[in-house]
Amino acid sequence: MKFLHNPPRFVFFTGKGGVGKTSVACAAAMELAERGRRVLLVSTDPASNIGQVFGLTIGNTVTPIVAIAGLSALEIDPEQAADAYRERIIAPVRGLLPERELASIAEGLSGSCTTEVASFDEFTDLLTDDSLLTTYDHIVFDTAPTGHTIRLLQLPGSWTEFLDAGKGDPSCLGPLSGLEKHKTVYAAAVAALADPARTRLVLVARAQASAVAEIDRTFGELEQIGILGGYVVINGVLPNQAGTEPIATAVRNREEAALSGIPARLAALPRDILELKAGNMVGVAALRTLFRPGADRADSQTRVDVPDAPLGAFVDELEPTGHGLILCMGKGGVGKTTIAAALAVALAQRGHAVHLTTTDPAAHLAATLHGSLPGLRVSRIDPEEAIREYRDHVMATKGKNLDDDGRAALAEDLLSPCTDEVAVFRQFSQAVHESRHEFVIVDTAPTGHTLLLLDATGAYHREIARQMGEGMAFVTPLMRLQDPALTKVLLVTLAETTPVLEAAGLQDDLVRAGIQPWGWVVNNSIAAAHPETPFLQARAANEAIQIDEVHARADRVAIVPLLADEPIGVDRLAALTARAPQTA
């Protein structure tokens, strides 16, 4: 493996959820330990399952992996870190402020920004602690800090004074106010990340256009803040033993197309390609096969039958109201855009007015539809335009009476990525309003961004409630999202461990916000395509376990099979909601 040749002390694995980062990181840590190195494997992933991989309970204390000499593991629990972080901020004023004010502060620190910054605060020690550096030869991280998080830490050095002086809204600075370490410590951590002699960045993707686009975006963000160089791992490429049945041939064609179209800056990096394995990467024996082509074989045929759950049944239930808001939510790369477009086409073909829109900067609705349809209107909430309008509005209002230094600090604060979702919300709320008269189907951004947007919705709701006072009637976007008669939330996932775990986490977050998901869509299911070869049947058997997990959590489920042809264009999208989509 090129990415394991002469590795430095820190090795970071990053990429979209569900591409196999954890498997690759665990196998890499094992490989280094079996070379006689002392290795600490650390997860900063909210959906981490390294404990499941090794069959151990691993928490926020260093735990030896008994089966592998020299290997230990640690899981940084983002939610636990965020809880402790909030307590550090609130504890000093508890008893001094009214409970309502304390609750407001806690709510302001409940978003994804707080979780990201709190997690970074936790693992900064791992980058700068001299005792750890003498104990371990390598520290392997499952999930690198995002460019988003690092940019937060590079905001102006005057942000604490800016907040204390009350010169503006905190935005991302609220979460930052709880950081205990001096900014020079964070600067040292960022410097370690940017030094190729100390840190290696490994970008993990599947041979899929969306996954490759994600690591390209991540690499571009990190380049902008001085983290240069890297290695690419393309994981899960279909092996020859998958056979030549139509589904296997179609998958290979898509993989070849994705790899031939890899962006130039990624193509210039060293690259390793790992074959898809028949079984799950659980246990030491399975992990040892990951870097060895053909090391696992599926020789026995076990046909798996999954329940019939057509997407068309969802359309039958959604149609009678004649209007409403439909939110397709989930991780990036699970096919939200396709599912949203398929529902929009089906409802428009049944004679309804439909507005299909996206809040996802990476979405390509026009390319997915590849045509037009009477009654269907397509739009995109342009994040760049929304952000520009929002920044101009804030500078013209909150910045109006500031001096030059204050305006400069406020302007730089507004460059923080956490302001982006607040800006997009201003346009999103208009789509919520339209759903009273027509179907509005929203292809939302990936999960973390969506939660920030919902945080903004909740903040707006609370502000309106405060302004209106008791006894005044009002309706806010959050109230519409909480109304099951108006809003239907669909969680889109793949039948794989990480996407299902993250969708389950999103469901829990939505329920806490008073929003009950209406249904789940399992997309691109190999099991639902009824494969014939032993290899794909073994993969289908693994999917069946995850599909059972979905059924245990969902009120209603639709399963969309993996198709031989990409569902692009009105006709193929319409086929997705037919009673029996063509799989070959």
Cβ pair 113, 379 in contact under 8 A = no
**For 299-326, how does the pLDDT look when each residue is reduced to its tens digit (9 = 90+)?**
556 677 788 899 999 999 999 999 999 9
**Which stretch of 93-97, 238-242, 466-470, 559-563 has the lowest confidence by average pLDDT?**
466-470
Catalytic choice (14, 15, 44, 45): 45
Give the pLDDT score at 159: 38
**For 437-476, how does the pLDDT look when each residue is reduced to its tens digit (9 = 90+)?**
999 998 875 444 455 556 656 666 666 666 656 655 656 6
Provide the pLDDT confidence category of residue 16 given band limits of 50, 70 and 90: confident
Cβ pair 247, 532 in contact under 8 A = no
**For 73-102, how does the pLDDT look when each residue is reduced to its tens digit (9 = 90+)?**
988 877 777 787 777 777 777 888 777 777
Give the pLDDT score at 112: 59
Has 57 been annotated as catalytic? Answer: no
| Mean local confidence (pLDDT), 484-511 | 88
Whether 517 has a pLDDT exceeding 70, the answer reads yes
Q: Give the phi and the psi of residue 309 in degrees, each rounded to 5.
A: -145, 75
Has 167 been annotated as catalytic? Answer: no
Give the pLDDT score at 278: 83
Which CATH entry fits the domain spanning 2-289: 3.40.50.12780, 3.40.50.300, 3.60.70.12, 3.40.50.10580?
3.40.50.300
Sheet holding 487-494, edge to edge: 376-380, 354-358, 439-443, 324-329, 487-494, 519-525, 557-561
Cβ pair 368, 454 in contact under 8 A = no
Catalytic choice (15, 17, 18, 335): 18
Residues 6+ apart with CB under 8 A from 280: 286, 497, 542
**Residue 418, CA distances (Å) to 110, 174, 327, 453, 553 in order:** 13, 11, 22, 10, 31
Torsion of CA 47, 53, 59, 63, to 10 degrees: -150
531, with CB counted inside 10 A (0-12, 13-18, 19+), is buried
Has 45 been annotated as catalytic? Answer: yes
Cβ pair 172, 416 in contact under 8 A = yes
Cβ pair 474, 457 in contact under 8 A = no
Provide the pLDDT confidence category of residue 421 given band limits of 50, 70 and 90: low
582 versus 354: the higher-pLDDT residue is 354
Structure tokens at 255: 């993989």
Has 498 been annotated as catalytic? Answer: yes
Whether 584 has a pLDDT exceeding 50, the answer reads no
| Mean local confidence (pLDDT), 165-178 | 47
Query: What are 233's strand-pairing partners?
Result: 204, 272
Residues 99, 178: Cα–Cα separation, whole Å: 20
Cβ pair 584, 349 in contact under 8 A = no
Catalytic choice (23, 114, 338, 357): 23
Catalytic choice (48, 72, 498, 525): 498
Query: What are 202's strand-pairing partners?
Result: 13, 231
At position 457, the amino acid (one-letter code) is T
**Which stretch of 191-205, 445-459, 556-570 has the lowest confidence by average pLDDT?**
445-459
Length of the chain: 584
CATH of domain 312-377+438-576: 3.40.50.300
Catalytic choice (22, 114, 115, 149): 22
E strand or H helix at 199, and its extent?
strand 199-206
**Which stretch of 55-64, 153-162, 333-342, 528-537 has the lowest confidence by average pLDDT?**
153-162
Give the pLDDT score at 173: 45
> Where in the chain is CATH 3.40.50.300?
2-289, 312-377+438-576
383 versus 135: the higher-pLDDT residue is 135
Has 20 been annotated as catalytic? Answer: yes
Share of the chain above pLDDT 90, in %: 30
Residues 498, 495: Cα–Cα separation, whole Å: 9
- Region of residue 275 (phi > 0: left; psi between -120 and 50: alpha; otherwise: beta): beta
Residues 6+ apart with CB under 8 A from 433: 477
The β-bridge relationship of strands 63-64 and 71-75 is: antiparallel
CB half-sphere exposure, 443, CA atoms < 13 A: 30
| Mean local confidence (pLDDT), 514-524 | 93
Catalytic choice (21, 331, 336, 488): 21
